[in-house]
Structure 1
Amino acid sequence: MDDHLKETKIDSALVYDGSFLKVIKDTVRLPNGNAATREYIPHPGAVVILPVLDNGRLLLERQYRYPVGQVFIEFPAGKIDPGEDPLVCAKRELLEETGYTATDWKFVCKIHNAIAYSDESLDIYIARGLTAGERKLDEEEFLDVFDCTPQELTSWVRSGQITDVKTIIGSFWLEKILSGGWQPIGR
């Protein structure tokens, strides 16, 4: 049904190959027959964890993000390793970043956060039945872990104190799930 909107790859070139990011420049055939270029960043995907403590409080992180030069409030998240199952990644990232493990995991949704310039997608999971343990941060990772109420999270989103898109979307889903209005869609 959408064939009249599709673009077809004619040629592709790797224009930047860094240790973390790559940039691809494709030549495409547009629906009207003309050619155009498309530059994008391929990404292996990532996960976002919405950790809910037994007392109803939420686990969040404060982390400095170099590209925008500031500390952000975020849900735990991380990049999927090659061949890694997204749920396995979510469990690994929750433990590494917060020290917590969870006994109850539910898939919430998949989001595409940068469709104009990347194929990155993020799988969002809600984690319950949390048990505290020791963090296992990566060598180059520095972050603070704290907890807050769902109401505090919502007020920070509304006031603009939280601008990270994965955290905003996660907060909206959590609000619906915790009120009983929505159920995680599962897999």
Structure 2
Amino acid sequence: MADGADPHLVEKTLSREELLRGNFLHVVRERVVLPSGAPATREFVIHPGAVMVIPMLDDGRLVLERQYRHPVGRVMVEFPAGKLDAGEDRLACARRELQEETGYTAREWAFAGQLHPVISYSTEFIDVWFARGLAAGERRLDEEEFLDVFTATPQQLLAWSRDGSVTDAKTLVGVLWLQNVLAGAWQLDWRP
């Protein structure tokens, strides 16, 4: 569907108030007019966007991470991912995050698509990238970043997604993309 195809559903912003500007979160409240003409408020997080990488080894295994996520109080299985820096090119961010978190660099990259993980309360988008032709190297984790890197087959990751071991939304979307790419249903445009 084209943007602008549903003007009868669009809310109009009247004003914005900043509620919080922290090191990571920026939260605002907007007063809006609903399509019916009634007033309403919307509170949401402004996010600069992020990338997620689906790194595929030559033998078919995937590079994954295990990382403690404080808000949910669990160690989560995830694809490598990270937030865009101001003005950063999205592919450059994908390359940086893969190398920093896993130590791997990739010979080829393919942009798969974009997802919006929490549309009800955040502007966040995540670009989905595939990486192949991986070469191992040294990780450069941020000072406050602690994670384990491991490999698994697509079948293992699919089973963990099905049994509830993997619940991270971006990783589950990555599994959907991966399934369709491996089945030949969705094509990727690989580039160096």
Percent identical among aligned pairs is 56
CA-atom RMSD in angstroms: 1.2
Contact 2:108 2:190 in 1 (8 A): no
Which structure 2 residues correspond to residues 37-48 of structure 1 after superposition, within 5 A? 37-48=41-52
Contact 1:110 1:121 in 2 (8 A): yes
TM-score for both structures, normalised by structure 2: 0.95
TM-aligned CA deviation for residue 186 of structure 1: 7.5
The structure 1 residue matched to 2:129, chosen from 115, 125, 129, is: 125
Contact 2:109 2:190 in 1 (8 A): no
Contact 1:109 1:185 in 2 (8 A): no
Partners of 1:18 and 1:85 in 2: CA distance: 24
Partners of 2:176 and 2:24 in 1: CA distance: 30
TM-score for both structures, normalised by structure 1: 0.98
Aligned to 1:134: 138
| 2:155 paired with 1:147 | no
The structure 2 residue matched to 1:26, chosen from 26, 30, 45, is: 30
The structure 2 residue matched to 1:55, chosen from 40, 56, 59, is: 59
Contact 2:66 2:149 in 1 (8 A): yes
CA-to-aligned-CA distance 1:31-62 (integer Å, 9 cap, x gap)? 11111100000000000000000111000000
TM-aligned CA deviation for residue 85 of structure 1: 0.8
Partners of 1:12 and 1:185 in 2: CA distance: 40
Aligned to 1:156: 160
How many residue pairs get aligned? The number is 187
Contact 1:45 1:120 in 2 (8 A): yes
- Does 126-135 or 166-175 show the bigger shift? 166-175
TM-aligned CA deviation for residue 63 of structure 1: 0.2
Give, as a single letter, the amino acid of the residue that structure 1 aligns with 2:89. D
Runs of 4+ displaced beyond 3 Å = none
Gap runs ≥5 in structure 1: none
Aligned to 1:179: 183
Q: 3-state SS of the aligned residue for 2:141? A: coil
Aligned to 1:69: 73
Partners of 2:15 and 2:186 in 1: CA distance: 44
Contact 1:111 1:122 in 2 (8 A): yes
Aligned to 2:99: 95
CA-to-aligned-CA distance 1:131-169 (integer Å, 9 cap, x gap)? 000000000000000000010000000000000011011
Partners of 2:107 and 2:190 in 1: CA distance: 15
Partners of 2:58 and 2:84 in 1: CA distance: 27
Give, as a single letter, the amino acid of the residue that structure 2 aligns with 1:101. T
Partners of 1:183 and 1:174 in 2: CA distance: 11
Aligned to 2:6: 2
